Amino acid sequence: MPMKRCRELREFALIFMLLPALVYSISLSNTVDQVAYYIAYDPLSRTGYETITLQVSANGITDFSIQLINPLYGCNATLINATFANPDAVVVPPSFNSSTCEVDFVVNSSTTVTVYLLVTDLFQELAPGSYEGVLDFTMFRNASFTSIVTIPGVYQVIARRFDSPSGDPAVSYTSNTTVISFSSPGLYHVILMASGGEEVPQPTGSGGGGFVSASIVIWLIPVTVIAVLAVAILLLWRRRERVVVETLPPRSLEEDEIVKEIILALGDAGEKGLRQSDIVAATKRPKSSISRRVKRLLEEGYIEVERVGKYNVLKLTEKGLKFYRGLKKR
């Protein structure tokens, strides 16, 4: 075999062996690197707020769709504000979907974003003075993570992590406030029980064990039942990827395959248009993928929204029709 041919084969083999590492390094170029999660919540008023600071790495125009904390009883939150350390990096400012608990934003370079939310019903009342909640931070398992939950008043705390045998949260008290600290992203079950006295009790041991007293025996049965439910929820939630990082076309939406499918579906529907749910059904694409592109298409004038009865219907504009006709000719 000629020497040149052997050299070419060796070079090809080397590239083939390095390809997985190359693909892996590319996939890490757009990530959520650090997460600082702060929650202040009052179970008596069933209200509170969250501040989530995310350090994101982006190489080019990148769409981040991040599902925030999943309380057991649904996502009852309202976006107050969002700020960026580098405002010039923002292509599309954050929007929040309260039905999926996802915050979406588009940036063109690495930056730090802080999201501010009002929350309700993070914990549910088990009995007078006792509350329970499931806090799911597993969507941040690939990031450097810290979280603190502060609760006004002194509560006995039972807190356990269900997706790992270690990593129970730590409980402390300061200024008549209960503080629960989480050092790793996982699925946690927390029970709060109002303290009878005014003095701040001291937790026994270290970590998230909270208190050890005879009254806890009363809670063993409901805690066990809730634990089983929490594990079942974990198994369901872990099937879903809740931090979606997607690099968008650098120059034009018209290069994106999902965008083309949306335009074709709307064009084929004609004057009657389609609801967003109809586009999801027609394209068989994830709701979040369709939602992000519909938002961009609206902003860039390819589609418009028309109210028909109680539904919002999407239709192509002249710009969208021109794109549609071009696609049909291919």
Residues 195 and 143 reside in one and the same domain: yes
Domain at 163, CATH number: 2.60.40.1730
Residues 48 and 184 reside in one and the same domain: yes
The torsion angle over the Cα atoms of residues 245, 92, 39 and 287, rounded to 10 degrees, is -50
User: Whole-model pTM?
Assistant: 0.61
- Within a domain: 231: yes
Residues 208 and 294 reside in one and the same domain: no
Please say which residue of 192, 210, 237 terminates a domain: 237
- Within a domain: 222: yes
Residues 58 and 196 reside in one and the same domain: yes
Packing angle of the helix pair 276-283, 257-269 (nearest 10 deg): 120
Helix, strand, coil in percent for the chain, rounding step 5: 30, 40, 25
Residues 262 and 227 reside in one and the same domain: no
What the block records as the tokens of 122 is 């993070």
The domain total for the chain is 2
Residues spanned by the domain of 279: 249-329
Per-residue pLDDT of 4-29, as tens digits, reads: 454 454 444 433 343 333 332 333 35
Tell the residue number behind the tokens 């350390």, with chain if given.
Answer: 85
Residues 232 and 253 reside in one and the same domain: no
- Residue 163: name the closest of 136, 181, 144 by CA: 136
Which pLDDT belongs to residue 73? 56
Which pLDDT belongs to residue 96? 81
Residues 233 and 261 reside in one and the same domain: no
Q: What are phi and psi of 268, to 5 degrees?
A: -65, -30
Which residues on adjacent β-strands are paired with residue 109? 59
Residue-averaged pLDDT of the chain: 76
**Rounded to an integer, what distance in angstroms lies between the CA atom of residue 307 and that of residue 309?**
6
Domain at 315, CATH number: 1.10.10.10
What the block records as the tokens of 243 is 């931090």
**Rounded to an integer, what distance in angstroms lies between the CA atom of residue 77 and that of residue 116?**
10
- Within a domain: 58: yes
Residues 178 and 266 reside in one and the same domain: no
Which pLDDT belongs to residue 243? 67
Residues 145 and 277 reside in one and the same domain: no
Which pLDDT belongs to residue 244? 62
Please say which residue of 214, 237, 260 terminates a domain: 237
144: Cβ contacts below 8 Å, ≥ 6 apart: 33, 34, 35
Q: Can you tell me the mean pLDDT for 135-153?
A: 90
DSSP string, 11-64: HHHHHHHHHHHHHHHHHTTSEEEEEEEEEEEETTTTEEEEEEEEEEEEEEEEEE
Q: Which residue type sits at 301?
A: G
Residues 105 and 184 reside in one and the same domain: yes
Give all strands (DSSP E) within the chain, no chain letters. Answer: 31-42, 47-67, 77-84, 90-97, 102-120, 124-127, 130-136, 144-152, 155-161, 170-174, 177-182, 187-194, 243-247, 303-308, 311-316
Residues 211 and 296 reside in one and the same domain: no
Instruction: Categorize the per-residue pLDDT at 318 as very low, low, confident or very high, splitting at 50, 70 and 90.
Output: very high
What the block records as the tokens of 176 is 């008549």
**Is residue 211 a contact partner of residue 156, using CB atoms and an 8 Å limit?**
yes
**Rounded to an integer, what distance in angstroms lies between the CA atom of residue 39 and that of residue 173?**
15
- Residue 45: name the closest of 135, 122, 110, 137 by CA: 122
- Within a domain: 289: yes
**Is residue 189 a contact partner of residue 227, using CB atoms and an 8 Å limit?**
yes
- Within a domain: 17: no
- Within a domain: 294: yes
Residues 211 and 271 reside in one and the same domain: no
- Within a domain: 242: no
Please say which residue of 202, 237, 272 terminates a domain: 237
Per-residue pLDDT of 244-265, as tens digits, reads: 666 655 456 788 888 999 999 9
- Within a domain: 116: yes
Percent of the chain exceeding pLDDT 70 equals: 71
